A and B are shown apart, each in its own frame.
Chain A
Amino acid sequence: MKLRRPAGLCLAFAIGFAVTTPAWSEPAEPGPTLAGVLDKGYVQCGVSQGLPGFSNPDAAGEWTGIDVDLCRAIAAAIFADVTAVRFTPLSAKERFTALQSREIDVLSRNTTWTLDRDTSLGVNFAGVNYYDGQGLMVRKDIGVTDALELNGVTLCTNTGTTTELNVADFFRSNNLDYKVLAFEKADEVVAAYNANRCDVYTTDVSGLAAQRLKLTDPDAHVILDTTISKEPLGPAVRQGDDQWLDIVRWTLNVMVAAEELGVTSANVQEMTASTNPQIKRLLGTEGAFGEALGLSNAWALNVIAAVGNYGESFERNLGKDTPLGLARGQNALYRDGGLQYAIPVR
């Protein structure tokens, strides 16, 4: 029996690739992301590894949260099927590489919109679905009410986020001494803060509200009123595909527009008979906006029927009746004193 000498290292790599053929995704057609999504039959959505209110799996593996709702809205817009979506939990470190390498189609992971990310990371942000700020959580018994009293503290935060930089900026510009500990995973930060390793836990205010639930005694901690930065959180897509960017941007937009016009998931079917021209354009009774985006004309109707308008999504995931209990605050509609302002659908 004669055996030929194998071609060295090539075999090594070939083993790695060949064994796993069924696990590859098909190479995307050169062209827009939408073609790939239609081909696959679902939207691949990058979410967090578990942040209550934004994207959190329950014990049965069902995902809920406003970022998750946005993903479902996109799926509804494209497929009229809210289940045509798969979720990839991503850490802060790998979220952008997952998007860049086409592992996911859209990153809906409470990601702050910054200039640096818009440019040097090769992503585009499609809007803001939550206006947030970086907050500070301390124990009630240290008796601090204002952030400027925090001189010489130790802070715990997540690595790989804007929080470390914001902390440096805030404390230095106010001539306060500080030390910061940056952990890899959010759960480790919670554990260290819980064990009193640090005086302050800092991350986005919404994140603080969510993580406070995981502490031993949530009521012994208070979130200070000071926010030390602006954190506009929104979905991100890859650069170079304007059509996909439009789809994501306008899906988010119609959710806000629906709330402005009073269209909810409950009354959306009746509203198709409305004579209000704005509602007619929104729901596709008039105009061909859906097709201009590459979707069906009933795309907005599907979105609202599936996940409701922005206000419903907010109340369901972050509102007064949830453990987080966050007020609309900056996320109210512009006419209620907030920042959510729908671009006109026309």
Chain B
Amino acid sequence: MAGSQPPAQTGAQTGPQTGAVPRPALINDARVRAIVYQALTLAVVVWLGAEIWTNAVSNLERANIASGFGFLDTTAGFGIVQTLVPYTEESTYAQAFLVGLLNTLLVAVVGIVLATVLGFLVGIGSLSRNWLIRQICIVYVETMRNIPLLLHIFFWYFAVLRSVPGPRDSLEFLGSIFVNNRGVYFPRPVAEEGFGLVVMAVAVGIAISVGLARWAKQRRERTGQPFPVACASFGLCVGVPLVLFASIGQPLTFDYPVLQGFNFRGGLVMIPEFLSLLLALSIYSAAFIAENVRSGILAVNKGQTEAAYALGLQPGQTMRLVIIPQALRVIIPPLTSQYLNLTKNSSLAVAIAYPDLVSVFAGTVLNQTGQAVEILFLTMAVYLTLSLLTSLVMNWYNKKFALAER
């Protein structure tokens, strides 16, 4: 062939006649290039990491700042206003870390529950036939989404604080619930001898209910006969333990809050910081969840609704049995990312002195020990773990419930 050149490189004893591909120059070989680029990138990243590490170590040494995680065993020396586990000033920093972590989880879990309920209500409401409800929901979503969360928190904190009186003029409900600007005080249940039996009865009841539900579903699919699972589970989980509770002499007393001096003592207290953070997080996240719910329901084909009506199902049944299960497939992935956002947003508690993980650990403990690197590393590791767990759950859910597509 005119103009064809024999391959310039060594190695391949081929010509155009044999049809084999000549090996390209090393610099043009895609595989070699790939390996070289990856090696280069890895080298740069490792060098960068080593630089940062050595700088940090030498800076810390030069500045005589302590290193290592030994500080976790030192006495904390400060008090925390809300602790879910026993904690005193003599506890260690590690226990302070645990207290902060539990406070974060508490506000996150309760916030997630409230936000989901409110979000679903508003999401379904924004598709309601009632014009007024629809407008209210749309206005709610628009307003709450476009105001920063920190403003929500400040608003609720100062609104909550200003609207309730001081301890000496508390609002009283049912003689034992007190509301003032130091918190909402409830009587605390104190378990006595024998209460463990009641708890076990509840646990057993729940286990039996789960098995019962499964059996009832199989029976319904086989024979078409429904079984009142809800009533039966209620009886098992609530009724039976109640009877047991009454019969062994009601082993439960209450520790009532009493006004002594400046504040109430005893009982359970929900501090206003917790309440306002909870309200702000729930209301803010509910707006985003409502949008997700709305787009999920809209994503279900209208034909499904029409077919359900043609089969004679009522609108409520249609929503519950046909639409929502399908809509959930579209709702759940963004919903889990909203849950994650809520958990991460709870770190804003530091703005109103709610003692969550960031406020206690990356705030007070960091200031007292000065060991910024270890503390921030631990804090970020906690949030990363929560976030990876959520991603794993979401991936599992996606795989389990994804549409089987060709």
Interface residues of A (CB under 8 A from B): 5, 7-10, 13, 92-93, 96-97, 100-101, 119-122, 142, 150-154, 156, 159-161, 164-165, 167-169, 172, 177-184, 188, 191-192, 195-197, 199, 238-240
**Residue from the list B63, B260, B368 in contact with A122, Cβ < 8 A:** B63
CA distance A169 to B182 in the complex (A): 23
Given contacts A120-B66, A196-B166, contact A180 B367 (CB under 8 A): no
Interface residues of B (CB under 8 A from A): 37, 40-41, 44-45, 48, 59, 62-66, 77-79, 81, 89, 158, 161-162, 166, 181-182, 260-263, 265, 272-273, 350-353, 355, 359, 363-364, 366-370, 372
Given contacts A93-B363, A180-B81, A195-B158, contact A240 B62 (CB under 8 A): yes
**Residue from the list B40, B41, B79, B161 in contact with A179, Cβ < 8 A:** B79
CB atoms of A197 and B161 under 8 A apart: yes
CA distance A100 to B62 in the complex (A): 9
Question: With a CB–CB cut-off of 8 A, which chain B residues contact A178?
Answer: 79
**Residue from the list A7, A160, A167 in contact with B44, Cβ < 8 A:** A7
- CB nearest neighbor in A for B165: A196
A121 to chain B, nearest CB (A): 5
Given contacts A7-B40, A100-B63, contact A164 B350 (CB under 8 A): no
Question: With a CB–CB cut-off of 8 A, which chain A residues contact B81?
Answer: 154, 179-181
CB atoms of B41 and A184 under 8 A apart: no
Question: With a CB–CB cut-off of 8 A, which chain B residues contact A152?
Answer: 260-263, 265
CA distance A184 to B347 in the complex (A): 13
CB atoms of A101 and B59 under 8 A apart: yes
Of B41, B79, B166, the most chain A CB neighbours within 10 A belong to: B79
Given contacts A197-B181, A197-B182, contact A165 B78 (CB under 8 A): yes
Interface of A is mostly: mixed
Question: With a CB–CB cut-off of 8 A, which chain A residues contact B161?
Answer: 192, 195-197
CA distance A266 to B265 in the complex (A): 60
| 13 contacts across the A-B interface (CB closer than 8 A) | A7-B40, A8-B45, A93-B367, A142-B262, A154-B182, A160-B363, A160-B367, A168-B79, A180-B79, A182-B355, A195-B161, A196-B166, A197-B272
CB atoms of B260 and A92 under 8 A apart: no
**Residue from the list A120, A188, A191 in contact with B65, Cβ < 8 A:** A120
CB atoms of A93 and B262 under 8 A apart: no
CB atoms of A13 and B48 under 8 A apart: yes
CA distance A13 to B51 in the complex (A): 13
CA distance A184 to B262 in the complex (A): 25
CB atoms of B48 and A239 under 8 A apart: no
CA distance A239 to B64 in the complex (A): 8
CB atoms of A154 and B262 under 8 A apart: yes
CB atoms of A93 and B366 under 8 A apart: yes
Question: With a CB–CB cut-off of 8 A, which chain A residues contact B372?
Answer: 97
CB atoms of B363 and A121 under 8 A apart: no
CB atoms of B77 and A238 under 8 A apart: no
- CB nearest neighbor in B for A180: B79
Question: With a CB–CB cut-off of 8 A, which chain B residues contact A97?
Answer: 370, 372
Question: With a CB–CB cut-off of 8 A, which chain B residues contact A184?
Answer: 350-351, 353, 359, 363
CA distance A5 to B35 in the complex (A): 13
- CB nearest neighbor in A for B269: A179
Question: With a CB–CB cut-off of 8 A, which chain B residues contact A161?
Answer: 367
CB atoms of A182 and B353 under 8 A apart: yes
B260 to chain A, nearest CB (A): 6
CA distance A97 to B66 in the complex (A): 13
CA distance A195 to B165 in the complex (A): 10
Question: With a CB–CB cut-off of 8 A, which chain A residues contact B367?
Answer: 92-93, 159-161
Question: With a CB–CB cut-off of 8 A, which chain B residues contact A92?
Answer: 367
**Residue from the list B78, B351, B352 in contact with A164, Cβ < 8 A:** B78
CB atoms of A121 and B44 under 8 A apart: no
Question: With a CB–CB cut-off of 8 A, which chain B residues contact A168?
Answer: 77-79, 89
CB atoms of A100 and B65 under 8 A apart: yes
CA distance A257 to B30 in the complex (A): 78
CB atoms of B64 and A120 under 8 A apart: yes
Given contacts A7-B40, A96-B370, A238-B63, contact A183 B78 (CB under 8 A): no
Given contacts A93-B367, A192-B353, contact A122 B78 (CB under 8 A): no
Question: With a CB–CB cut-off of 8 A, which chain A residues contact B364?
Answer: 159-160, 164, 182
Question: With a CB–CB cut-off of 8 A, which chain B residues contact A179?
Answer: 79, 81, 263
CB atoms of A195 and B262 under 8 A apart: no
